[in-house]
Amino acid sequence: MSMKRREFLKTTAGGAAAFTVLRGKAWGQAKPVRIGYTLSATGPYSVGAGITQGPNYTLWQEQANAKGGLLVKGEGRRPIEFISIDDRSEHETAVRFYEKLATDDRVDLMLPPWGTAMNFAVAPIANKYGYPLLGPTAVSNKIKDLQLPYFYALLQQPDQIMGAFAGILKELKAQGKISKIAIAYVNDLFGIELNASAATALKEAGLDVVDVKSYPLGVKDLSPVLKGFKAAGVDAFVGLTYPPDNILATSQAKEVDWNPPVWLAAVGTAFPFYRDRFKGAEGVMGIAGWNPKVKSAGAKEYFDAHVKKHQKEPDRWASAFAYASLQILERCVAEVGLDRPKIKGMVDSTEFQTVAGPIRFVKGSNVSTPGMVGQWQKGEFEIVWPKSLATGTPVVPKPAWA
């Protein structure tokens, strides 16, 4: 097939990567701005990618093209053309494609894939060819130490996240609501780093962890871990999880009849489908940072637009940051054009007002967003920590599983 006529290709049984170009309605009116990326449509990263980044990429493209395209300094509006594939949750596939985007396709801009490990795999490519890469799903304390000046992380990083976890758990212990904490973490870069940060933050908060268990990516059974925590009398479960294992752990907690007063888990808890799957998930806590009640400019409008286009709500953590990354890119292109070093200079020196609140980068990390904890309460993922940003108060013990 000619690479000049890129069409959507369904992944074959043999595993060929899907390759697609998404053109907006403004196609043909001006030379398009070509933006390349991979996302996981299959494999263990696909759930998160399909909720957090994919819908926001297409929403932003549609909105921009409805206005005639992306405003480029000195050129007017140009339609956005996406060039993307399913990376199948394979780092090697993503790396090869990002190299191709830079060398063969010579795209104007790049967007990141989903997840910490995947972002780390492709960031050196973006850095090598000078493409600013704004990652809304990368979580690692190492970002500030890496020699990758073109890579930026929008989310709270492990020390911030675990600082928030420790803060709320310390208060709950002081109130006599919990005493024994246990941690289960996925054994990849994301889980390993969060666990290391948790160990430090909980120790500094004077909290004891009675058990820590790791498990492999793609785990199929967590019931032995949960039964062990239950037998130990754990009353605060901390899961440093990806969406599939978060769902698995929640499902199996109900199966083994374990309902600790605090269920505090990581990626996936803030997804509306998690709430719906577990009949409201009332009282479940997780990493937070956003809901449509926050006072950030455009937050409610973004929520409504997402629901209108996709017939589903954005998640209550990283979705808003994914959209914010595109707002940042859009502003930079409007003010400095498609000169990538100039875009980098603006990203380095500017605090951006976004639907996720103010965002400012220092050594590649967003320093404007603190760690937060959210809790599902009557259908909304209320921010319950820190108190200064709270949209609700913690409910502990959590209600019984529905």
pLDDT band with cut points at 50, 70 and 90 for residue 24 = very low
**CATH among 1.10.150.80, 3.40.1190.20, 3.40.50.2300, 3.30.70.3400 for 158-289+371-389:** 3.40.50.2300
CB neighbours of residue 228 within 10 Å: 14
Q: Percent of the chain at pLDDT above 70?
A: 93
Section 135-157 average pLDDT: 92
Equal CATH topology for 19-156+294-366 and 158-289+371-389: yes
Residue 341 one-letter amino acid: P
Q: Is pLDDT above 70 for 244? A: yes
Kindly compute the dihedral angle of the four CA atoms of residues 243, 355, 59, 161, in this order, to the nearest 10 degrees: -20
CA distances from 145 to 137, 248, 365 (A): 18, 34, 10
| Residue 142: pLDDT band with limits 50, 70, 90 | confident
Residue 275 to residue 278: CA distance in whole angstroms: 5
What pLDDT does 26 receive? Answer: 42
In angstroms, rounded to a whole number, what is the distance separating the alpha carbons of residues 268 and 263?
13
Region 298-306: mean pLDDT is: 97
Lowest mean pLDDT among 12-21, 210-219, 327-336, 358-367: 12-21
Phi, psi of 211 (to 5 degrees): -160, 145
Give pLDDT tens digits for 250-259.
Answer: 999 999 999 9
Residue ranges of domains in the chain: 19-156+294-366, 158-289+371-389
Express each pLDDT in 200-217 by its tens digit.
999 999 999 999 999 999
- Is it the case that residue 143 has pLDDT exceeding 90? no
Smallest Cα–Cα separation from 199: which of 159, 229, 171?
159
Confidence band (pLDDT; 50, 70, 90) for 20? Answer: low
Which residues have C-beta within 8 Å of that of residue 394, sequence separation ≥ 6? 168, 172, 285, 375, 384, 385
Q: Are 253 and 263 in contact (CB under 8 A)?
A: yes
CATH architecture of 19-156+294-366: 3-Layer(aba) Sandwich (3.40)
- Mean pLDDT confidence for 9-36: 56
By the 10 Å C-beta count (0-12 exposed, 13-18 middle, 19+ buried), 345 is classed as middle
Average confidence (pLDDT) over 318-340? 98
Query: Do the Cβ atoms of 36 and 101 come closer than 8 Å?
Result: yes
**Banded pLDDT at 63 (limits 50, 70, 90):** very high
**Confidence grade of residue 23 (pLDDT, cut at 50, 70, 90):** low
**Buried/exposed 196-208: b ≥16 CB within 10 Å, e otherwise:** ebbeebbeebebe
Is it the case that residue 12 has pLDDT exceeding 80? no
Segment 127-137 mean pLDDT: 98
pLDDT tens-place string over residues 64-116:
999 999 999 999 999 999 999 999 999 999 999 999 999 999 999 999 999 99
Q: What's at 311, amino acid-wise?
A: Q
pTM: 0.88
Collect contacts of 330-334 with beta carbons under 8 A, ≥24 apart. Answer: 330/60, 330/64, 330/70, 330/71, 332/132, 333/33, 333/70, 333/71, 333/72, 333/73, 333/109, 334/70, 334/71, 334/72, 334/73
In this prediction, residue 29 carries a pLDDT of 63
